[in-house]
Structure 1
């Protein structure tokens, strides 16, 4: 059974400008593994914008309650290339309260826009 669906888009250039002008914003939004590629290089703006859109979509799928922490959700990619979301703390508590057992995530970025869809399933 589907508990919730969320979708979000982020303009890549606008998101990049916000990161550049707001010191510390990246650390408030992302865990370290989201900021860095496996090689240790910093992840590109398009990828970060897609991860931000995923977190917004996740919040919408969970009913967008107040008090959830951005860093309590981690977007990662499996070896197969499938994007996934891992939750803990405040986000996990909300998911448990709603009866969510799994999340499905799709990410995309093209033509200056990053997008994400999250389905929360019982």
Structure 2
């Protein structure tokens, strides 16, 4: 059963300018494993984290590092949750998160579906 959905869009030029003006932004938003990716991939991951927060519903106390995007065995993106984000997901009975990300034509977009159960 779907218990939450979230979508977010990021303007690539604006995101690139923000990272250029504030280099520490990358450290604040992304885990060490995510930081060395190209800026368009970082923008998609930022959109994914925003979309996840929408899908979770309650995000009080969630930190950016509580949400990491990794690749599964087939190369598909998936979340690894920790901290408050993991507790919220467990508390809502979320057993599966589905993530789709893209970047094209100057935008990055992500869509998240949260399902109850395993």
Q: TM-score, normalised by structure 1?
A: 0.91
Q: 2:7: which partner in 1?
A: 7
Give 3-state SS (helix, strand or coil) of 1:107's partner: strand
Q: 1:56: which partner in 2?
A: 50
d(CA) in 2 for partners of 1:65 and 1:34?
A: 21
Aligned residues: 116
Runs of at least 4 residues of structure 1 off by over 6 A? none
Q: TM-score, normalised by structure 2?
A: 0.94
Structure 1: state its 5+ residue gaps.
37-42
d(CA) in 1 for partners of 2:54 and 2:70?
A: 19
Deviations 1:74-121 (A, max 9, x none): 011224121111101010011011110110000000001000001111
d(CA) in 2 for partners of 1:30 and 1:61?
A: 19
Among 72, 81, 85, the residue aligned to 1:87: 81
> 1:20 offset after TM fit, Å?
1.1
Q: 1:117: which partner in 2?
A: 111
d(CA) in 2 for partners of 1:19 and 1:69?
A: 18
Among 92, 97, 100, the residue aligned to 2:94: 100
Q: 2:27: which partner in 1?
A: 27
